[in-house]
Structure 1
Amino acid sequence: MHILLLGATGRTGTLILQDLLSRNHTITALARNPTSLTPTPGLGIIAGSPLNQSSISQAITSTPTPPDAVIIALASVRASDSPFAKPTSPPRLMADTHIAVLAAMKKHGIKRLITISAFGVGDSNEYVFWPMRMVLNYSAMKVAFEDHNVVEEVVRREAGEWEGEGKGLKWTLVRPCMLKEGDGKEVSVFGEQGRGVGLMPSVSRESVARFVVERCLEKEEFVARTPVICD
């Protein structure tokens, strides 16, 4: 398959890119700083912003046929990994990116969208262990989680409109638990809300990458779902 990947230079996006290439998929990566990516057979690199619909359209039309799917692995950035560090990304990075991407997908007839969201977004928030939920809701991380909440609203609304037009958006919003470094392994899926996930669940970025590529993309599981995943 041919994939449009946004967020290919990030910690999780890099692993998704590597996994895709290892399975002989071809990728177009849209990157604000294309020099951060190493030219590789099977990888096309387009310089541009995910917030700019013309950049997205350029990435889509840079190959003879449109991508089969779009994977969004973007993440809001803070000044450090501390949950109280000042956000340095636009507060609506994810929401505005999805608005631009969905418009371009609709124009070019692309139906499959896979996005890395987070456990604690939407109706999974109540199943986060309460001390961590306090951090999510009252630290600088709140900005990113509010942004992800808007993404869910945007995607569900667009899916309804596409269905009404007979086009059918196939979306998946993956909700990984706390991300960590480490080897990839088979993940456990705790439904769409994370009920019973435990006190401090985590998942390696490599596990997330494998889940996204193998189960969401190749096997096309979890369409119109928000799977919570942990190691």
Structure 2
Amino acid sequence: MAHLLVIGASQGIGLETVKAALGAGHRVRAFARSASKIELSDPHLERFPGDALSAPDIAGALDGIDAVVQALGVPFRDLFGPVRLFSDATNVLVPAMEKAGVRRLVAVTGFGTGDSRDAIGPLQRLPFRLVFGRAYDDKDAQEMRIRRSSLDWTFVRPGVLTGGPATGRYQVLDRRSSWKNGLIARADVAQFIVKEVDDSGHVGRAVVLISHALPV
């Protein structure tokens, strides 16, 4: 049983990861500004209100932790202005983890980040850049900062996220030549993250997760 810190735990993939990790028997420290509002009941859950941009908050949250899941998100309305959350929070997290001796980091970024950008199909490329360009430029900076670290990292790059329960039927595309966009449930992403924390099968690598491929 590991002690996990999930950053961005109040919604989306972060919340699903909290649920999946608890279901797998792990202890979970759920970090978010609204962590106190997480409506889950489990003796292995610790709600930890904090700001991902605050060095003291992050340092405190890392105490006694075995692995970190970084699953930050921004509201849709914020995608059309400057986005700095992903890189700024990572610039706080990475040195704090190195100082605390916590080596394992699973960071959720997205399909289209870093070297997966070239895999975006021509029909998807323009709308993707118009809507998500600023956020993904910042995710690029997030990944670059992590790559420069001494951490045992994995980048999880899900395709287009959907709701609903985990299906267990998804593809883990871990070769650059296989990367493509597709749909995947947040709960399936969370299941993969927990498995990756358990077995560390993709340390120092990026994987794309999809259930059903989209037309290129």
Same fold (TM over 0.5): yes
Aligned AA (2:189): V
- If each structure's strand is expressed as a fraction of its own residues, which one has the higher value? 2
| Distance change >3 Å, CA 130–CA 92, structure 1 → 2 | same
How far apart are 1:2 and its partner, in Å? 0.1
Answer with 89-98 or 149-158: which moved more: 89-98
Match of 2:154 among 148, 155, 172: 172
Residues 88 and 9 of structure 1: CA distance in aligned 2, closer, same or farther (over 3 Å)? farther
Match of 2:23 in 1: 22
2:69 to 61, 68, 71: 71
Distance 2:46 2:125 in 1: 40
**Does 1:204 find its partner at 2:185?**
yes
**Contact 1:13 1:74 (C-alpha < 8 Å) held by counterparts:** yes
Residue in 1 aligned with 2:101? 109
Partner of 1:120: 112
Find the aligned partners of 1:90 and 1:70 in 2 and give their Cα distance: 26
Alignment partners' CA distance in 1, 2:157 and 2:104:
17
Structure 1 stretches lacking a partner, 5+ long: 80-85, 163-168
Matched, 1:142 2:119: no
The one-letter code sitting in structure 1 at the alignment partner of 2:157 is: R
Partner of 2:121: 129
Once structures 1 and 2 are overlaid, which stretch shifts more, 112-121 or 33-42?
Answer: 33-42
Paired with 2:133 and 2:60, the residues of 1 have a C-alpha distance of 33
Paired residues of 2:26 and 2:44 also in contact (CA < 8 A): yes
Cα distance in 2, alignment partners of residues 192 and 133 from structure 1: 21
AA matched with 1:187: Y
Which of 60, 84, 91 is the matching residue for 1:99? Answer: 91
Q: CA RMSD in A?
A: 1.8
**Amino acid across the alignment from 1:151:** Q
Number of the residue aligned with 2:214: none
Write the distance in 2 (CA, Å) between the matches of 1:51 and 1:127: 31
Give me the TM-score of the superposition, normalised by structure 2.
0.90
Match of 1:116, as an amino acid?
V
Match of 1:220 in 2: 200
Measure how far apart 1:60 and its partner are: 1.9
Q: How many residues align?
A: 208
Flag the 1:137–1:177 CA change in 2: closer, same or farther, 3 A: same
Distance 1:92 1:132 in 2: 24
Q: CA deviation at 1:57?
A: 1.1
Letter in 1 for 2:186: R
The verdict on how the C-alpha distance between 1:202 and 1:106 changes in structure 2, with shifts beyond 3 A counting, is same
Distance 1:196 1:5 in 2: 26
Cα deviation 1:119-144 (Å, max 9, x = unaligned): 111111111121212112123x1111
1:41 to 40, 43, 67: 43
Residue 87 (structure 1) shift = 3.0
| Match for residue 156 of structure 1 among 134, 139, 147 | 147
TM-score, scaled to structure 1: 0.84
Separation (CA, whole Å) in 1 of partners of 2:122 and 2:92: 35
Q: Give me the identity figure in percent.
A: 28
Q: Any idea what SS the aligned residue of 2:148 has?
A: helix
Q: For 2:98 and 2:82, how far apart are their aligned partners in 1?
A: 25
